[in-house]
Structure 1
Amino acid sequence: MFKIIKERRVKMVSKEVVKAVEEKALQLREDIVDIIGVGKVGHLGGSSSCADIVAALYFHKMKVDPKNPSDENRDRFLLSKGHAALVQYAALAEAGFFPKEELKKVKTLGAKLQGHPDMTKTPGIEANTGSLGQGLSIANGMALGLRLDGSKNKVYVIIGDGELAEGQIWEAAMASANFEIDNLVAIVDRNRLQATGAVKERFNTNPIPSKWEAFGWNVIEIDGHNVEQIIEALDKADKAKGKPTVIIAETIKGKGISFAENNVAYHNGSMTEEQYEIAKKDLEKLKA
């Protein structure tokens, strides 16, 4: 299925493609729940909120080769909000970068998969992220490097809306526009919650769309759980010339898991056995 979807990337979005990506997103959420399991702490909320976006990138849009993660002719993906690494680990495993058995070892001593992305340990990780605010700067450098090499590949970076309080994001945003980095696409996972509460109550960065526009970016606003909109936005970004593109995706923290949706306690929380079973049943219902 991975290869079939990839071959259709340049065609119009069909119902078949949308359904296939939706199924992958649901699988990523199931993997996230299983990784955390019972009694362990994990970033359930922010990993689940961007699952549809990550699924669209890995299983439809990006040119990547699981058998050759360092292929020079690849698109790059950075998870600037590195605490949500569980969703990227799930995507990499489902795509075949490493066996799914590795997901059972997340955050264990000596494992490939640690609490934040580590390019020295995990195939398919482009940079060590998680120190918030740095991902866009790294993406700028990668995109400029690709341009110098004459490459047509793209760089995609997911940023949390709480992360927008970091000044380095806006320095990088100015640089992106100044150097007209049009092979760069930033995606803001706007779930409106951060570690300790609502973004607007902790450090209000609103209005987000007009800020990016003022910084010289091509701005696209979407429902971050609507796969068709996600794919269309990524395709529109391909046509933007002379400026970088930011996709502002409205999402729900903990999407798909009833007790975790819009619940800041599951930014980084644990599940009881009862909650784990509820989460599994919630996701099973979505398959209907």
Structure 2
Amino acid sequence: MTATMRPAQGSNISLARRAWEIRRKALRMGQVQGQGYIGQALGVADVLAVAYFHAMDYRPEDPEWEGRDRFLLSIGHYAIALYAVLIEAGILPEDELETYGMDDSRMPMSGMASYTPGMEITGGSLGHGLGIAVGMAMGLKRKKNPAFVINLMSDGELGEGSTWEAAMSASAQGLDNLICIIDFNDQQADGPSTQVLSSEPLPEKWQAFGWFTQRVDGNDIDAVRAAFDAARAHPGPQPRAIIFDTVMCRGVPFLEAREITHFVRVEADEWDKALAVLDEGKPL
């Protein structure tokens, strides 16, 4: 079996540029349909850039390679963000971007594993991703496969009892090959997550369930990278949780300022404006 290098290693493209590319691709897909969960995609782009171009092992030309780290999208409505990173990683061709959300597209508006290379699970019924990740991590251990399972979930899913049942199970099984990352943007369909059903104090809760836990600024690439490195390197027989505090619509200030960002309304004439604003801050 040939050795596999994490895709960011040996690359001259910065993680900041990767995150910018992910944001731009997500905006372009949103423009195709005139809608989409753009706020989440822009907010979580830094986390995805570090995950795919620093932290994970995979082969773009072979998305089902057995040795790959598995990235699970528990929050199926974040699919536009994952498609953007899959295109940036070379797993999906960029010319398919224009088919987003269309009939027969491999990029439906909610993520479906049967349609999309690199999409490990079908998410959408919130609160189930971590349970699937626990089972997957257990299976990898039994096969003596050293791969990690990384499960991305939302702060709204912290209100689901199944999330905490899975968290308890992961600790009981000593799943040190499982990393749960929580996108904490304090927004869900019914309002701010901290007001709908607060899960604070969040780090202390995950620690009480037996997890090695970190909480960092999810839009600070250096902090995100350090958190992933610490999670992978932690020596204890524990699952690992990283709580990433992110800002909805990050990188496009006039969208960041919108009061309702769970499904942010972008007018037809604002897509080009958003792309232009993003382009002004293009990193090297």
TM-score (norm 2): 0.92
Question: In 1, Cα distance between the equivalents of 2:183 and 2:259?
Answer: 15
- Cα distance per residue 1:102-131 (max 9 Å; x no partner): 111111111101122211111011111111
> Is residue 2:111 matched to residue 1:132?
no
Alignment equivalent of 1:256, drawn from 240, 247, 251: 251
Question: In 2, Cα distance between the equivalents of 1:236 and 1:49?
Answer: 22
SS at match of 1:247: strand
> Which 5+ residue runs of structure 2 have no aligned equivalent?
none
AA aligned to 1:188 is I
Structure 1 position 252, deviation (Å): 0.4
Aligned to 2:181: 187
Aligned to 2:167: 173
Aligned to 2:239: 244
AA aligned to 1:286 is G
Runs of 4 or more off by more than 4 Å in structure 1? none
Q: Is the 8 A contact 2:258 2:264 kept in 1?
A: no
> Which 5+ residue runs of structure 1 have no aligned equivalent?
9-15
Aligned to 2:8: 6
Aligned to 1:152: 146
Aligned to 2:84: 90
> Is residue 2:196 matched to residue 1:228?
no
Aligned to 1:11: none
Aligned to 1:47: 41
Q: Is the 8 A contact 1:193 1:262 kept in 2?
A: no
Query: Structure 1's 4 and 218: CA in aligned 2 closer, same or farther, altered over 3 A?
Result: closer
The share of aligned pairs that are identical, in percent, is 35
Structure 1 position 260, deviation (Å): 2.2
Question: In 2, Cα distance between the equivalents of 1:167 and 1:128?
Answer: 20
> Is residue 2:274 matched to residue 1:272?
no
Question: In 1, Cα distance between the equivalents of 2:31 and 2:278?
Answer: 14
Question: In 2, Cα distance between the equivalents of 1:74 and 1:64?
Answer: 5
SS at match of 1:188: strand
SS at match of 2:14: helix
Kindly tell me the number of residue pairs found equivalent between the two proteins.
278
Question: In 2, Cα distance between the equivalents of 1:231 and 1:221?
Answer: 12
Aligned to 2:205: 211
Structure 1 position 262, deviation (Å): 5.8
AA aligned to 1:243 is Q
Query: Structure 1's 287 and 7: CA in aligned 2 closer, same or farther, altered over 3 A?
Result: closer
> Is residue 2:67 matched to residue 1:73?
yes
Question: In 1, Cα distance between the equivalents of 2:216 and 2:92?
Answer: 32
Provide the aligned C-alpha RMSD in A: 1.8
